[in-house]
Chain A
């Protein structure tokens, strides 16, 4: 049973570029949440997708957008990258909304130069 997988593992971009990160949820899960973890900080909630719609959003600008596909996998897109976007981006999956259990993936390390 595969857990949550994320790709790529590492990514280097320059300021102003755009990036797409991908997440495949744990088998059987239909809800995906994204978190940003800056160095030395705890994860911060970006948004959550369920039934291909954004259900909740944290305090992140519109440069951060996402998508969920019919197979429940998800993408996180960040436009006009800033140096401050450098972070570990974590994906978490769960079965349905308002659950008591979610599983995190290993993350994608994004470096913006």
Chain B
């Protein structure tokens, strides 16, 4: 079955601390992987995406993610979190952007 698991429902970090959000997937074919961010009451904004090539991808707002095929993971990282990063983060998988399968999200809270 195709699925995305985000094990951490809620993460709290201090401003300036590093961040890693976990994402594991189950997908039959080689997947396209995405990370989206959603601020309260807003739609989804694409942070980064991976299709092929270098397994470390850079995104907007200083985020990066690493694809590890052997672990079926695509974890999102940021070396220093800002208060404005507080939001809900979603990992998604698909053949392309059609019919994406999303995880249940991780809510990030940032303390000053």
> Any chain B CB within 8 A of the CB of A44?
yes
The A-B contact count (CB < 8 A) is 65
In the assembled complex, A94 has its CB within 8 A of some CB on chain B: yes
Nearest to B105 among chain A residues (CB) is: A42
B-facing mask of A16-53, CB < 8 A → 1, else 0?
00000000000000000101000011111100100000
Please, how many residues of chain A have a CB less than 8 angstroms from a CB on the other chain?
A: 28
Pairwise interchain contact A98-B95, C-beta atoms closer than 8 A: yes
Measured between beta carbons, the chain A residues less than 8 angstroms from B99 are 33, 45, 48, 56, 58
Interface size class of B (residues with CB under 8 A): 20 to 34
B97 within 8 A of A: yes
How many Å from the CB of B34 to the closest CB on chain A? 9
| Chain B, Cβ-Cβ closest to A43 | B102
Chain B residues with Cβ under 8 A from A90's Cβ? 43-44
Q: Which residues of B contact A (CB under 8 A)?
A: 4, 32, 36, 41-46, 49, 51, 90, 92, 95-105
Known A-B contacts: A33-B97, A107-B43. Give 14 more (CB < 8 A).
Answer: A41-B105, A42-B102, A42-B105, A43-B44, A43-B102, A90-B44, A94-B97, A98-B96, A99-B97, A100-B97, A101-B46, A104-B44, A106-B42, A107-B42
